[in-house]
Chain A
Amino acid sequence: MTDEHRAPPAMDDPDYWDRMADVLDETDHDTELGLEMARDAQRLVAGEMTEAEYHEKYHDAVLTEFGEDERGLDLSMADVAEVDGADGGLTERVEGTFDDEASRREFVKKGGVAAMGLSMLLGGGGGDDEAAPSTAPAEASDDGTRWGMVINLNNCDGCLECVAACKGLHGTSTGAHWMYVMAYEEPEAEEENFFVRTCMHCGDAPCEKVCPVGARHTREKDGLVLSDYDICIGCRYCMVSCPYGANYFQWGEPDRPMDNENFTHDERGRWVDGPPPEGVMGKCTFEPAWQDGQQGENLVGTTMCEQACTRDAIHFGDMNDPESDPNQHLAAYEAAHENDTSEFENRPDDTVSTFRALEERGTDPGVVFIGDEPSPEARQVEGPVTYEEQGLVDDRKSGVLDQGAAANAEEEA
């Protein structure tokens, strides 16, 4: 990973602003607003302005322009600060990182934020195919919805908010992390990287292929890969065949059984979410009940982890729709990392590295990552926020399972 690779656009270059103005002029949206947002975004990066201030300043304008403000959280940053209160809430944490020694890496990360103003407009502008290269997987049909994610690993700071939020929503047992964030290091590199492991909701899911009873299945409607808790026999073949390790088996009684059928059952009436019953396999679901509108229209097209992410790293949406949040984020990020083709014109348009994890295994994963793929030599290390600090158990084997039946008794107590 070279520094040049991630260099932010030269924003002090007047040509840059002219080019952006031209791009914005081609959309149906307010060019002035876009440029002003982009300039302020620069101030945000420089630390002259907080993200909360930025958000507040443009919230109304963005709502007027687009009818919705999709910049991460639904709540304004002020609300979040209130909610999170004294224990180092989101705002504090975001601002805290700004006060840190601005390493180049951090700066580069925030370069992504700087592009947000532009990205909103380009995104809202709609139908600009060049600005929104489709991330739709080759094998998946282009028709209909395919829920998926673009996860910007460059934005992730390993706070584990998504992990805790996911666990809170789905009520999974101790140590079962449907959303799992790993800090890792490459050999001979001191830099800490992050890998955000959801279920990839593969287009050609190995887990589904091997399931002897058809419990693991893909929803035709939107490509979600789900487990039918009423059918699963607990053979764990899906767990063995998944190259990502995304499955979590319910070895004993669930810690917190859930009886909210409006959440645990999708619109087909199948039990596919919440903590699995004993002896049954579970995994990240992308909240089918939310996507089916059973929990309110405002939750369609989002996931708990996306909502919890304070760093704009997780973008959930329809991968087949060029205008969806994930595709727009990728497009904007690429636009913000234009390549210098003045000397070598055959260079790619941008310097953004993307990958689909273990794509070569033929799984057709539905999650696209921005950042560098971990090498085979990469090793997980303790992250800046530990699972214990989040009140979670990372090592389920020694933390829960090795207690055997005693763990059950504890859960029942």
Chain B
Amino acid sequence: MSTRVSDVSREALVRPIQARSKGFLLALLAALGAIGVWAFFYVQQLEHGLIVTNLGGWGSAGGVPWGLYIGAFIWWVGIAHGGIILSAAVRLVGLKTYQPVARMAEMLTIAALTCAGLFILIHVGRPDRLVTSVIPAWPWRVQWSPLTWDVTVITAYFVLTGTYLLLTVRYDIHRLRDSLPDRLEPLYRALMVGYSEKEDAVVERLVWWLAFAIIIMAPLLLHGGVIPWLFALLPSMAGWAGGVQGPSFLSIALTSAVSGIIVIAAAFRRAYGWQDLIPDAVFRGLAKWLGFFSLMFLWLQLQQVMTGIFAAPTSLQHATEVKISTPTYWLAIGLVGLALLYIFASALKPSLFSIRAMVVACLGVLVGTLLEKVLFVVEGLQHAHFDLYAGVPGVYVPSVVELSALLGTVGIVVLFFLLASKVIPVVELHAIEGDHEEVDER
């Protein structure tokens, strides 16, 4: 049986590509402005060195050598990993409900990984040596340095996600070609090199295996592995070491990623009148997932706090006491807790649910997870086992230069979505019911 895709649905799908609006221009200008502000400050950092940040050296020099840059790095990687886990789960288990947001999740992954990479670039003292030093040392350092594992896995992951996105987008471009702008013809031709409809079935199987690989890799190696291992494997910092960091990082990744996807999906829905394309059910379902991941996040925080204060070794106890007496920590926990409360309440009483309120809750979660990540990095460094130095813990408040990078990377993600939505459909054709059968019969 074949159900042809209605022209209305196709029109909806390519609406962002064809539409021109003042809102789009404003968003574009805001994104470029944010990137511009960051570029201005980053030039200063390039000129004078990292001395323009508020970082310091732990020890007699006081302060923390890792700060917002690394906290934001983990945060972006978490969003990326959570995003791709969600998208892979959709393909692997066939969670049809979420198919309208699967591609947005993949795009978010690409954009967020780019930002994470940028944070590494701006964090190091010698960005000019990233290629000349890292590549020659890779074969023998990869067996030791967690940072090398990190770079390796993130690169592999970037390639995997890119392949995944490219393969699935070819299917759509081929079928929507007539509705796509002619001026981008060379780009489409490049994307479609060697395409034939015979590949669709193969690609579908290939994508399933890619999703399978991502699902295996992400929790074990990515945000449940190499990223937390950057910290969890160091015995000298009490707040970092230990096996709980893997699950804890993963819970934060998933929480922030689902929040990010909800925000982006709501923005597209509002901007392009996609009430039919991304129905309420998608948001209600995502909210339940967010509630579950938030619960995991809070539960793992509880585990760390309890084991850290009951009868912990001196340095861990100290680190935990400092953490729970930091107002920012409770702000982070509170923001996630509030989102959880709202989601539970609206599950009990569905009339309480609104997408607008959900977006606000999600923005709160995004801020909360970022705060928690930065605090984790900074406070972890401030309370080491060797706690003799008068200059430690010291004070760390991110400088304007560092904060501007956060603004800049948010700008990059927004810009990426704005531009990409002008080139490819951000909701895949498969999401429109029945399209599958149509393809199968061809």
Contact = CB atoms under 8 A, between A and B. Distances in A.
Contacts of A235: 123-125, 147
A379 B389 CA distance: 7
B384 interface: yes
Contact of A245 (B44, B59, B141): B59
Interface stretch (A79-87, A154-162, A211-219, A308-316): A211-219
A383 to B, nearest CB: 11
Contacts of A248: 57, 59, 61
Interface string B230-247: 000011110000000000
Interface in B56-71: 56-63, 65-66
A250 B50 CA distance: 9
Given A210-B147, A361-B385, A232 B133 contact: yes
A197 to B, nearest CB: 8
Given A241-B234, A245-B384, A280-B126, A251 B391 contact: no
Nearest to A239: B65
B346 interface: no
Given A280-B126, A376-B387, A236 B145 contact: no
Contacts of A88: none
B125 A396 contact: no
A182 B388 contact: yes
Interface in B111-131: 123-127, 129-130
A398 interface: yes
B50 A251 contact: yes
Interface residues of A, number: 64
Interface stretch (A29-37, A47-55, A404-412): A404-412
Nearest to A277: B126
Given A240-B381, A247-B59, A405-B44, A210 B126 contact: no
B272 interface: no
Interface string B371-403: 000000000010011111111101000010000
A206 B399 CA distance: 29
B255 interface: no
Q: Is the interface of A mostly helix, strand, loop or mixed?
A: loop
B55 interface: yes
Interface string B34-49: 0000000000100111
Contact of A395 (B140, B148, B391): B391
Interface string B304-325: 0000000000110000000000
A239 B235 contact: no
A206 B60 contact: no
Contact of B52 (A232, A243, A378, A404): A404
Contact of B49 (A209, A232, A243, A251): A251
A384 interface: no
B235 A279 contact: no
Interface in A364-413: 374, 376-381, 394-398, 401-402, 404-405, 407-408
A245 B61 CA distance: 9
B302 interface: no
A271 B394 CA distance: 32
A304 interface: no
A206 B126 contact: no
Interface string A183-214: 01000000000010100000000100111111
A197 B392 CA distance: 15
A92 interface: no
Interface in A273-317: 278-281
Nearest to B390: A380
Q: Give the interface residue-count category, chain B.
A: 35 or more
A404 B386 contact: no
Contact of A212 (B48, B148, B315, B392): B148
A35 to B, nearest CB: 42
B57 A374 contact: no
Contacts of A215: 133
A111 B96 CA distance: 83
A64 B147 CA distance: 56
A244 interface: yes
B235 A212 contact: no
A11 interface: no
A249 B57 contact: yes
A175 B144 contact: no
B234 A240 contact: yes
Nearest to A378: B388
Contacts of A395: 61-62, 391
A250 B124 CA distance: 12
B423 to A, nearest CB: 35
B145 A374 contact: no
A108 B140 CA distance: 51
Given A243-B385, A279-B124, A397-B391, A233 B134 contact: yes
Nearest to B120: A235
Given A195-B388, A278-B125, A395-B62, A206 B236 contact: yes
Nearest to A281: B125
B402 to A, nearest CB: 12
Given A378-B388, A380-B389, A361 B60 contact: no
Nearest to A242: B236
Contact of B51 (A176, A197, A246, A401): A401
Given A214-B140, A246-B59, A397-B56, 14 more contacts: A180-B59, A182-B390, A197-B60, A210-B145, A212-B147, A241-B234, A244-B59, A245-B384, A361-B236, A362-B235, A374-B388, A396-B57, A396-B61, A405-B47
10 contacts: A210-B144, A210-B146, A212-B137, A236-B66, A239-B57, A245-B386, A249-B57, A279-B124, A358-B385, A397-B62
Interface of B: 44, 47-52, 54-63, 65-66, 123-127, 129-130, 133-134, 137, 140-141, 144-148, 151, 234-237, 314-315, 381, 384-392, 394, 399
Interface of A: 175-177, 180, 182, 184, 195, 197, 206, 209-215, 231-237, 239-253, 278-281, 357-358, 361-362, 374, 376-381, 394-398, 401-402, 404-405, 407-408
